[in-house]
Amino acid sequence: MRIHRVNGKSLRDALERARALHGENALVLSHETTTFGVTVAIADAAQKVAFPAALEPEPAAPRDELARQDPGRADVARRLARAGASEAFVKELVGELERRGARGIGALDVAAELVADRVRLAPSPKVGQEPCVLAFVGPTGVGKTTTLAKLGSRLVRAGRRVALVTTDAQRAGGIEHLGAHAKLLQAPFHVARAPEELARAVAACGTVDAVLVDTAGHSPRDRELVTGLAETLARAERRTPLVRYLVLSATASRAALELAAETFQPLTPEGLVITKLDETREPLGALELALARDLPLGFLCDGQDIARDLHRPKREHVADLCLRGRLA
Ligand SMILES: Nc1nc2c(ncn2[C@@H]2O[C@H](COP(=O)(O)OP(=O)(O)OP(=O)(O)O)[C@@H](O)[C@H]2O)c(=O)[nH]1
Ligand SMILES: [Mg+2]
């Protein structure tokens, strides 16, 4: 009979290691606590490594199992979960890594490629090619006006002429909010107070490189208001094409994101804007929504700074959000 000594951080750890190293049939002779943990003495014999009842190990969690198979893939799974991925998303992506034989330190790079390949990126707005009219719609307080102001600021800094239009005329402060941004940008500003006025307000902007249209935020539970907004935009669209961006906050719950996407679907958004990425470490809820609904990403926003915190999404951004939980 050969005797082996196996160390562990705790008795459970030492027993698990003993079982892994010497099989189920090894015999535990003794254990002692040392300054480094616990040491068990094991003999090769036809007897199972006996766990005291209280220490009987729980079945290995899927991620522990994964770690045993390959630490690189386990690291990817951990990162995705930390960034708020659903179990199904983690499972699918890790399965794909396995199928491709990606392991060890290489698994992270392959995962970055895979997630970047999955999310569609919206084409750049055709600024300067008349008519370029971009409308921002979405739930209340998600950052529609701020995103529009950021885009306006970027275009003006690039030497483009922009005009701003708002349909947010009923709510106190709606007009003033966008009006203040128009003033800062020294851009023409028009208000559409009624559905039939939007086309006229856009036409009144004259020859500019882009007209940016702000809309009032609506509760995703108020389908009537959203239908009204859809009609307003459709009416204007009879005279001039509109590109619609659905703006959603990365801080919203999956249920809230899903409800908003569902309610705003009649507006047929061409792109998704994800805001407030700086306020969460779990952006995958919003990204998975983009995937599930095949909504291309239009813009990403990660802060309140008008001159800085707007990004045209790139593949690397998607990889960073999925595997680091933030834009780099
Ligand atoms: N941290 C952070 N705050 C943001 C971001 N985008 C917008 N905000 C803030 O969110 C708040 C609401 O922004 P608004 O632009 O007024 O949102 P809105 O969708 O136009 O709101 P309503 O018109 O009331 O529906 C403001 O305090 C913005 O500064 C972002 O990317 N990150
Ligand atoms: Mg607003």
Structure confidence by residue, pLDDT tens digits, 148-195: 999 999 999 999 999 999 999 888 888 999 999 999 999 999 999 988
Residue 181 lies in a domain: yes
Average pLDDT of 10-34?
Answer: 76
189, part of any domain: yes
Are residue 241 and residue 279 in the same domain, yes or no?
yes
Kindly report, residue by residue over 293-325, the tens digit of the pLDDT: 999 999 999 999 999 999 999 999 999 999 999
Is 209 part of any domain? yes
Cβ–ligand 1 distance for 10 under 6 Å, the answer no
Closest among 263, 250, 242 to 300, alpha carbons compared: 250
Ligand 1 center to residue 276 CA distance, Å?
Answer: 8
Q: Does some domain include residue 240?
A: yes
As a whole-number percent, the residues of the chain with pLDDT over 90 amount to: 70
For residue 41, give its domain range.
3-55
pLDDT at 23 over 90: no
Tell whether 47 and 70 lie within a shared domain: no
CA–CA separation, 190 vs 197, rounded Å? Answer: 10
pTM assigned to the model: 0.81
Domain check: are 318 and 238 in the same one? Answer: yes
- Residue indicated by tokens 């998975």: 288
User: How far apart are the CA of 145 and the centre of ligand 2, in A?
Assistant: 4
- Tell me the CATH number at 283: 3.40.50.300
Mean pLDDT across the stretch 71-90? 96
Please, where are the H alpha helices in the chain? Answer: 11-22, 62-69, 71-82, 87-99, 106-118, 144-157, 174-185, 198-204, 223-237, 254-264, 284-292, 315-324
Same domain, 86 and 235: no
CA of 318 to the centre of ligand 2 (A): 26
**Is 288 in contact with 321 (CB distance < 8 Å)?**
no
Q: Are residues 78 and 137 in the same domain?
A: no
The tokens describing 124, both together, are 């750049």
Q: Could you tell me if the CB of 276 is within 6 A of ligand 1?
A: yes
Q: Which of 146, 279, 310 for mutating ligand 1's site (highest number of atoms within 8 Å of CB)?
A: 146
Whether ligand 1 lies within 6 angstroms of the CB of 217 is answered as: yes
Half-sphere exposure of 58 (CA within 13 A, CB side): 3
In a domain, 126, yes or no: no
Question: For residues 243 and 228, what is the distance between their CA atoms, to the nearest angstrom?
Answer: 17
**Looking at the structure, do residues 299 and 154 belong to the same domain, yes or no?**
yes
The pLDDT-based confidence of 43 (bands split at 50, 70, 90) is confident
Which of 77, 95, 118 delimits the end of a domain? Answer: 118
What are the backbone dihedrals phi and psi of residue 150, each rounded to the nearest 5 degrees, phi first? -65, -45
Identify which has the larger pLDDT, 252 or 220.
252
User: Do 48 and 87 belong to one domain?
Assistant: no
Q: How many domains does the chain fold into? A: 3
